Amino acid sequence: MLVFAFSAHSTFPEHRSSLANPQHFPRVIGLTYLVLSVWKSAFGIVAWIAYGDLTKEVITANLPTVPSKITNAAIALNTWLSLPLVVVIFFRILDALRGAKSTKMVAWTQRTLGLVFCAAVAGVVPHFALLLGLFGALTGTLLTFLFPVIFYLKLGGERLGMGRKIGAWVVMVFGVVGGGWSTYSAVKALIQKM
């Protein structure tokens, strides 16, 4: 979940190009990541203080019924409202590849059908959440920790100082360890459910 929260960078170029003042984008992203880091760290620490070693993998499983349902509804609403950010970008890229811009009605229809299709797949595929966790562990690790760092090192080459290279390798090692653990946990959970 933590990796997913910081994996939006694949959408950055499209979002930045659509801003009225793109020069403010780095500052906005830096502030957003700072707030996310503080918020998610505080949330994890408070959960651990409240439940200790009994803290379950999905924190809402520790909550009483009513707060758990409210929290799950808020998470579902957040997911449903943030999914269009990715869907819109997907269809903008599709339009660019086709070399034609869709009319507003066609764009609205494509995006709506795309979201309905995603919801249908989520409802039909057994153990979808666990499967999504496995895909997230694999792709999140590759797209967040490995590929960007490999490209950074390759493109930076000799211009990068030793400190930056070491920092990049630390990020990669952290990503491999975290991604390996996440993949193992997701596979283990899938096997237990089958």
Spatial contact of 101 and 95, defined as CB atoms under 8 Å apart: yes
Task: With a cut of 70, say whether residue 1 has pLDDT above it.
Answer: no
Residue 97: pLDDT band (50, 70, 90) is confident
Q: Is the pLDDT of residue 180 over 80?
A: yes
pLDDT digits (tens, 9 = 90+) for 122-175: 889 888 888 888 888 888 888 888 998 999 999 998 899 999 999 999 999 988
Does residue 7 have a pLDDT over 70? Answer: no
pLDDT of residue 150: 93
pLDDT at 6 over 70: no
pLDDT at 127: 86
Q: In degrees, to the nearest 5, what angle opens at C-alpha 20 toward C-alphas 14 and 22?
A: 60
Poorest-pLDDT segment among 5-19, 34-48, 129-143 = 5-19
Does pLDDT of 58 surpass 80?
no
Cα atoms in the 13 Å half-sphere on the side-chain side of 144: 19
Both tokens of 7, joined, read: 């994996």
Q: Model's pTM, two decimal places? A: 0.60
Q: What does the mean pLDDT of the chain come to?
A: 84
How many other CB atoms are there within 10 angstroms of residue 135's CB atom?
12
8 A C-beta contact, residue 145 and residue 179: yes
At 8, is the pLDDT very low, low, confident or very high (cuts 50, 70, 90)? Answer: low
DSSP 102-167: PPHHHHHHHHHHHHHHHHHHHHHSTTHHHHHHHHHHHHHIIIIIIHHHHHHHHHHGGGS-HHHHHH
